[in-house]
Amino acid sequence: MKLELLSQAFTIYNLQELPIEYFNRNFFFFAKTDEEISLLCPSDFVPNGYIEKNEGWRGMRIQGTLDFSLVGILSPIASLLAEEKISIFAVSTYRTDYIFVKENQLSNALSALQKKGYTVENIS
């Protein structure tokens, strides 16, 4: 399986509200539940009015489009990284999955994935 390493660092924010101008950004993940609003975006963008933040994440995208009938795509990656004591933040979209690891664990994560046969390519 091929993964693509995203070039930028990311930050996860806990927000009070999500102003409409965020939707013009070209790369972010947004979740709103009855308890919170979360935003994952490139670290060079700092939203106004955030409550908390967790910086220093790097992302990898599973290459290609994943059919909804596929099972067990994210689980082996999460398990492998858990064995290496590497925490993840996972996001799924309509087409694929993204795995984020702390920047200081990135080289360990890449090494562990490559040892298990995953290919990781840099993208811009």
Lowest mean pLDDT among 4-8, 15-19, 26-30, 78-82: 15-19
**Cα gap 5→61, rounded to integer Å:** 7
Neighbouring C-beta atoms of residue 106, cutoff 10 Å? 19
Q: Using one digit for the tens of pLDDT, what is the confidence trace for 52-81?
A: 999 999 999 998 777 767 666 889 999 999
| Local structure of 44: helix, strand or coil | coil
Q: Using one digit for the tens of pLDDT, what is the confidence trace for 71-117?
A: 668 899 999 999 999 999 999 988 899 999 999 999 999 999 999 99
CA atoms within 13 A on the CB side of 31: 13
Asked if 14 contacts 50 with a C-beta cutoff of 8 angstroms, the reply is yes
Question: Judging by beta carbons within 10 Å of its beta carbon (0-12, 13-18, 19+), is residue 28 exposed, middle or buried?
Answer: middle
Q: Which domains does the chain have, with CATH numbers?
A: 2-122 (3.30.2130.10)
